[in-house]
Structure 1
């Protein structure tokens, strides 16, 4: 039904049109979700009342039907194909190459997690895919085959596609030291002007820096006609949403430049649950007409049949996953992963880390280290890897109370009182109660109250001069990843996070964890 509706809309637009009309599909933040997901983008168990969503086989079905209607359809991937499920933890880039080649993208931008295994993990992917990989703001003599942009032709008209990657990638991933990242907007602007000088009048930027930066780019780079983004996992929608996801803005988000031009910004959530679909009409001068002919993120639900051939391609990989499908514990209530606030999933993971080190009540883990939640019911090894796919060790360091406060202050340095920012850092905690005040001019002084849970269960104020054992993940102890990296001289290495959470789930079966007021954040917009 969804595909038929698109075909009808598309035919009406093309038949009466002058100039060129582009059909564009886009995805972002797939994070190795090759199989379908449940309504909350966790593992599909096959027992869901309303069925499951997305996955490579549904994507293939929808993409093939759209391309049948318009063979010149542009298909973009805005980055973060790597990391996020057991598929990447066990198989690394190999299934990413296979299934991305099956979908045959027009181009893909690099995301920060595509660097998680460094150049050694990224270069084979770039070498083996059948489409251009783009990043205009990266310079490296070591990285081969990544371009600033690519140019395709639609009905004889040149269309330029420019890629960009998050400037903060070195702090969030494992890019090599000889890879240099530059300002996204300045880099895209320079490449757009170069393309204009070559006679390319339609220019699309696709990249992985988040909704806020995408809107800024659309406002400031005069040469752009469209921005296709990723990284922030933003769900955009106009009208009543087709599922449980809450829109953070309209789809598309129209940004007006100072010269009066309007540049749409789009993003398609994450994990293959949606795929963005646009028709873009340009006049003879290469100017985009708006509102657009058709624009919506398409929910890949049960109405989109799975492609049987792609399903067959998935089967050999699934054989290797069987050892991780045995139930190991029971979850009494759904555990949700929330960003930039306390979450039930974060509480469980942090508690498991603290329990791994006798005598240490405090544990900290970054939001980005927790990739998904878990539904009520039996949990498997696959679920654990989907939550914690990075294979970090759970380590212990020693911090004074003053140092602990500095670490926690740094975690909210990017927060805005009006909540319009997209912070990159935040800690889920165990053994602490934190009260934050987020004001315009109180950076470094945002902790209003900080209490520590003693071994006998009491909460007492953290004392600056006392030394506290703190448990965290090895990623945060790498140089540049967090303030805790300054204190590795006291580090003792522990077991893998997968082992720690698995053992905790077994020992505490059934598991019942909720949000309980560990972290309170007050946003104050007054100066």
Structure 2
């Protein structure tokens, strides 16, 4: 397409164009000549009559009358053709005999749970908000829209967005949906009629369903619950794709012990369709065996890999594994620029990209990385040359990462023809998909967050030209699922081995106790805080030698370490969150603002209180918050020099804090402006490695943080 002739994806509450009302009236031979049905309701009422609806009298349909929940249940069950005869008993005690089958069927289909465990609320009038939820659950329509309504609470928001996107309703006014308004019989007829039309349109179009994960980082402790979430989706949508956007490697003892093979066992079992490489897949490149673990991972995969901008040709471990082509018959355990999947008779192209920053933040060895924009443009054109116009980019470049390197938002903006971007790298939790409409066609962007906490789901509807006309997506909480018993049994040998490792010494002894007590790390300098940040700074310097300061929030240090042998279990207790390393480019002024925020609640305990390395400062807790810092000095390599508010400094921290966690807005500003690099090394791994380099573990409190009021 050469112009914006496509229909806009993001509808408003007053203007929607996604679903056309091009259906002929559905007229039943039994339709009554009701005298209270104006023209705007005629087709909808005739439709309901064809489904068994009756008027209030021979001449009155009751268009302007409110409809009770019990009558609404009967009509919806009829329209949806639910099995009202065989549904299990609902347990509601207030449902009249004539409606028992309908209510039983609605509950069995998870369309409604009633008002309470025993009350359906049969005689209550159904509200427009309740009706929206019923239609969302009953019809399974795809769609989302921008809303101008001010009365739509979070509970109802996805359902109302779906109704608006599919032109089922425009609300009672431009600013009010009428969530609490009782629904009229005429409105109900219109809702069901238009929802049925929208369903028929969507069933005629090509529907693509995608499940996706990213940045799992060896977290397979909840893999049995992830399996359940996947099984539920496949039960409803068996043709769903299952994709992973990289960084399966590094981050837990599962990876340290099994080097990706434990993760691979479950990915094969769950039948992933494709994966791209994350930067952490290359972490072992500088080890004695180089990328052998990654090569073994690829060879053992029962799915193909997609990677358009990574060249493995100079690493002999990957000889015969990579193919610079678009494959229509991809072989498991092989790497392609892109692959083609046929779904319901339609061809879908999938290609992969990995961040160009990888050589700077991982150990890539002889593996080379090229321009993501250039390779994406070439690959999209290759798909189009084969007549493929439904294209997915499976990326590990970051949702909104620094433009110095690459990110998904810029990819969508610059490369025309990508319909969906399934992303990773920035651990961005996109509760709803993002839509980019800068080009001739829209691009949908999704990402799940991190560590397998959520399974991403996305449904996309395409027109005949391969243009996305509607979509809907959400994240499914893995923790909320029941564990699959078979997968849990498969996990046990791995988890038993990991549990045993937690009790093992890291072969390092602490000369004295390392203070991580909550009341201390959140109020003052401690020897453990010094030790952790010293390790962070040492690691950050191997990536960016100009890094001079390391900071970590006291709230991220959860326990002390006793004198004597240090175990992996103790380290994981100290830092259980698996936070990753980030390197910020800050001004001295921003560092001072951060120090003010750190001590703003002193002497009261505060999780935002910073432990630090390469920096020392004094403050006065008796002064007003924001005016407490007296002096600050930065280690210049040989000595400490006064912090220059006009100068720039590279500062290491964890990505939780770098993204504004614990109220560090000045860090968030730097992150949003692309002044944060995310090499991604996990905190407990960095700390363990650092401890193992020390001859003696006996850190002291060194007056890095001094409150003169004490």
Normalising to structure 1: TM-score of the pair? 0.63
Higher-RCO chain (CA-CA 8 Å, sequence separation at least 6): 1
Alignment correspondent of 1:222: 416
- Aligned partner of 2:215 in structure 1 is 29
The match for 2:312 is 140
The match for 2:236 is 69
Aligned residue among 415, 419, 434 for 1:253: 434
**What is the match of residue 479 of structure 1?**
none
Q: Is the 8 A contact 2:616 2:634 kept in 1?
A: yes
Per the alignment, residue 166 of structure 1 pairs with 355
Q: Deviations over 1:206-255 (max 9, x none)?
A: 11011121011111111110111100111223xxxxxxxxxxxxx21111
1:105 aligns with 2:298: no
Partner of 1:184: 372
Asked if 2 retains the 8 angstrom alpha-carbon contact of 1:75 and 1:107, the reply is: yes
**Residue by residue, what CA displacement relative to the aligned partner does 1:192-211 show, whole Å, maximum 9, x if unpaired?**
11011111110010110111
What SS does the aligned partner of 1:320 have?
Answer: helix
- Aligned-pair RMSD on alpha carbons? 4.8
- Asked if residue 210 in structure 1 is aligned to residue 398 in structure 2, the reply is yes
| CA distance in structure 2 between the aligned counterparts of 1:324 and 1:268, rounded to whole angstroms | 29
8 Å contact from structure 2 (residues 537, 550) kept in 1? no
Instruction: Write the mapping of 1:488-499 to structure 2, written as runs, cut at 5 A.
Output: 496-499=689-692
Q: 1:499 to 1:140 in 2, by over 3 A?
A: closer
> Residue 20 of structure 1 corresponds to which residue in structure 2?
206
SS at match of 1:147: strand
Q: Deviations over 1:2-49 (max 9, x none)?
A: x967994674459521211111111110000011xxxxxxxxxxxxxx
Instruction: Give, in whole Å, the separation in 2 of the partners of 1:413 and 1:184.
Output: 24
- 1:310 is matched with 487
Aligned counterpart in structure 2 of residue 430 of structure 1, from 598, 613, 638: 613
- Secondary structure of the residue aligned to 2:212 is strand
2:517 corresponds to 1:332: yes
Kept in 1, the 8 Å contact 2:536–2:550? The answer is: no
Cα distance in structure 1, aligned partners of 2:519 and 2:304: 40
2:292 paired residue number: 120
Contact 1:256 1:262 in 2 (8 A): yes
Distance 1:449 1:75, change over 3 A: same
Which one has a bigger Cα radius of gyration?
Answer: 2
Report how far residue 327 of structure 1 moved. 10
Deviation at residue 269 of structure 1 after TM alignment: 0.5
Is contact 2:358-2:364 (8 Å) kept? yes
Partner Cα separation in structure 2 for residue 345 and residue 9 of structure 1 = 55
- 2:462 equivalent in structure 1: 282
User: Are 1:452 and 1:462, in contact at CA under 8 Å, matched by a contact in 2?
Assistant: no
Larger strand percent: 1
Tell me how far apart the structure 2 counterparts of residues 105 and 335 of structure 1 sit (CA, whole Å): 46
Q: Which digits, 9 at most, give the CA deviation of each residue in 1:258-292, with x for residues without a partner? A: 33x221111110001111111111112211013x2
Tell me the distance in 1 between the aligned counterparts of 2:292 and 2:383: 31
In structure 1, runs of 5+ residues without a counterpart are 36-54, 238-250, 337-341, 356-361, 390-409, 419-427, 436-447, 464-493, 519-527
Contact 2:516 2:529 in 1 (8 A): no
1:106-157 residue CA offsets vs partner (Å, 9 max, x unmatched): 1111000001112222111110011111110012323323111111111100
Count of residues paired in the alignment: 389
* Distance in structure 2 (CA, Å) of the matches to 1:160 and 1:366: 45
For 1:112 and 1:83, locate their aligned partners in 2 and report how far apart those are by CA, in whole Å: 10
The corresponding residue for 1:153 is: 342
Deviation at 1:323, TM superposition (A): 3.6
Say which SS state the counterpart of residue 194 (structure 1) adopts. helix
Choose 86-95 or 379-388, whichever is displaced more.
379-388
Q: Secondary structure at the match of 1:125?
A: helix
**Contact 1:159/1:202 (8 A) holds in 2:** yes
